Structure 1
Amino acid sequence: MSTAVHHLNCATMAPALAAGGRVTPVRMVAHCLLVEAPDRLVLVDTGFGTADLASPRKRMGLGFVSAMRPALDPAETAVSQVRGLGHDPADVTDIVLTHLDLDHAGGLGDFPAARVHVYADELAAARARRTLNEKGRYVPAQWAHGPRWTTHAAAGEEWLGFAAVTALADDVLLVPLHGHTRGHCGVAVRRPSGGWFLHAGDSYFFHDEVRTPPACPSGLRIFQSLMQMDGKARVANQERLRHLHADHGPGSGAAEVVTVFSAHDATEYDALAGGTD
């Protein structure tokens, strides 16, 4: 059972085409979690790592750096924030990834001894990089140190109407949410105070996409369409997340309350940051 869950922003970005928030938000984040348990520390996603900041154009590409304008603040790296919370980074035994896009997996090398949990389909796609899209989004240098991969396949459990597979005990679950990438998933983390967090990764990008009716800035809608590997699955999973938010979100009165958030929405991050559950 986890004893605390911390919300970390492991990469602030200021998209170049924001147009004052009309096209994209003016500020985006890389929302990660640090889960404290009696016998381990667990990271959910990593944001950028120290090697990314040391050589951003080489590691992440000029196109990404120019378009997203990352802050490249060493204090935002997961390894720095783990230390800031009084922990030894070597105590991070497990990293659970929503997917392997470069802004989610850059910090893997800062925790070289950790087991890295990912869907098998995602790891296969990242290694193969079959399409132009996948050649740009996956950066093999981020896992050149040879992580201790723990791959997960078919989900055999049921979690609030979703298929799921246990990643760690019964407190951290992988929830298939394919579409953005071939093996994209959400990560459900049981809250010590009761209920769940669902880190939905890049299943959606804007907080109003999980409300009814949904809304999203035009630039983010276009970006999601350009980056998707399975548009039908991505759209269907967004609809499923809307139902989950309506039926189990805060204020729903549900017995099992689920707080859903995406990886990059600053509004969702700001609402949760600073608190320790």
Structure 2
Amino acid sequence: MNDWEIHAVKYADRNARTRRDSFILDDNHDAPHAMDYFVWVLKRGNEVILVDTGYDSDEAAARGRPIAMDPREALRPLDITPEAVTDIIVTHLHYDHAGGLHMFPNAKLHMQSAEMAFATGPCMCHDHLRAPFTAGHICEVVKRLYSGKVVFYDGEAEIIDGVTVHCIGGHSRGLQCVRVRTEAGWMVLASDASHYYENFMARKAFPIVVDLQDMMDGFKTLERLASHPRLIVPGHDPLVREVFPVGAAPHIHRLDPGPTRDIKL
């Protein structure tokens, strides 16, 4: 069986942040702490799977969080057109991961049942839990569901040979990571199961959390799934761009060969 390529595609960043935004009870909470925003592309020959979609300029304006480029434009160097994308793994339904679903009209969505129940259930009565979601994005999933283009999973499942998903929870009730077979070994796209290397390496929780125990237990799950901890790729860490080589364009980094050096906090 052939291995997969993985491309991390950066489309936005936020530099006006501090460590209090990234870690619960951090000792150095006022220090600057930047965040990158990615989508990921899995490629094997003519097969393409998109992992998450990012968000568009309308969402950027509504939240006051500008994007560097439209995710569709960001994918262009990989010769990917929105209409040609047939499968999207949705790690969870927060705006920065599912805010561009409408931009890929022909795609089937792969997600956890628990995430749909969370995003449409009584937890959304609470402002704090609802804040990272946008109603229009959830409605897009419902429309896709009624057109037969959503596949739900409960826990662990194989999407296709060499690609599996695993429900982690914690940050969002149905958050899932993606395990991919590459030339470097089994690589895990953590998404927001670990925003930064420091989250899982130092066992530091991220402040946006629905179940703290699930989040902390999830760090062990990431380590169990990866062939080596250095093959765990966090969802928002600018360090990703330092330890993996540049790919098809300056904003794209190639992950599947593995990092070029060890990650040191």
TM-score, length-scaled by structure 2: 0.77
In 1, are the aligned partners of 2:110 and 2:152 still within 8 Å (CA)? yes
In 2, distance between residues paired with 1:190 and 1:237? Answer: 20
Q: 1:244 to 1:117 in 2, by over 3 A?
A: closer
Aligned to 1:228: 209
- Who is 1:37 aligned against? 44
The match for 1:166 among 155, 158, 163 is: 158
Query: Does 2:103 correspond to 1:96?
Result: no
Q: Distance in 1 between matches of 2:137 and 2:118?
A: 15
Maintained 8 Å contact 1:40/1:92: no
How far is 1:80 from its partner? Answer: 0.9
Judged with a 3 Å threshold, the aligned counterparts in structure 2 of structure 1 residues 151 and 240 are, in CA distance, closer, same or farther, namely: closer
Once residues 228 and 127 of structure 2 are traced to their aligned partners in structure 1, the CA distance between those partners, rounded to angstroms, is 38
Are 2:4 and 1:27 equivalent residues in the alignment?
no
Matched, 1:199 2:189: yes
* SS of alignment partner, residue 12 of structure 2: coil
In terms of fraction of residues, the more helix-rich structure is: 1
Question: 1:26, CA displacement in angstroms?
Answer: 3.4
Question: Which amino acid in the other structure matches residue 177 of structure 2?
Answer: G
Partner of 1:141: 136
Q: For residue 196 of structure 1, report the CA deviation from its aligned partner.
A: 2.3
RMSD of aligned C-alpha atoms? Answer: 2.6
Residues 32-85 of structure 1: CA deviation (Å, up to 9, x unaligned): 2111234432111122224424xx22xx4xxxx3xxxx34222xx321122232
Whole-Å Cα distance in 1 between the matches of residues 186 and 88 of structure 2?
18
State percent identity of aligned pairs: 23
Compute the displacement of 1:18 (Å). Answer: 5.7
Judging changes above 3 Å, is the alpha-carbon distance between structure 1 residues 244 and 49 closer, same or farther for their aligned structure 2 residues?
same
Deviation at 1:25, TM superposition (A): 4.8
CA distance in 2, matches of 1:118, 1:198: 16
Q: Equivalences for 1:77-156 in 2 at 5 Å?
A: 77-128=70-121, 129-145=124-140, 146-147=143-144, 148-153=149-154, 155=155
Q: What amino acid is the match of 2:127?
A: L
SS at match of 1:7: strand
- 5 Å-filtered alignment, 1:182-261, equals 182-191=173-182, 193-211=183-201, 214=202, 221=205, 224-225=206-207, 227-242=208-223, 248-250=228-230, 259-261=231-233
Partner of 1:6: 7
Partner of 1:265: 237
- Report if aligned partners of 2:49, 2:85 keep a CA contact under 8 Å in 1: yes
| Contact 2:166/2:176, CA 8 A, preserved across alignment | yes
**TM value normalised by structure 1:** 0.74
In 2: Cα distance, 1:230 partner to 1:264 partner: 20
Q: What amino acid maps onto 1:14 in structure 2? A: N
Following superposition, the deviation at residue 124 of structure 1 comes to 1.5
Paired with 1:195 and 1:94, the residues of 2 have a C-alpha distance of 23
State the alpha-carbon separation in 2 of the partners of residues 244 and 187 from structure 1.
9
**Local SS of the residue matching 1:6:** strand
Using the alignment, how far apart are the partners of 1:81 and 1:197 within structure 2? 23
Q: Structure 1 residues 152 and 130, CA, compared in 2 at 3 Å: closer, same or farther?
A: farther
Point out the more displaced range, 24-33 or 170-179.
Answer: 24-33
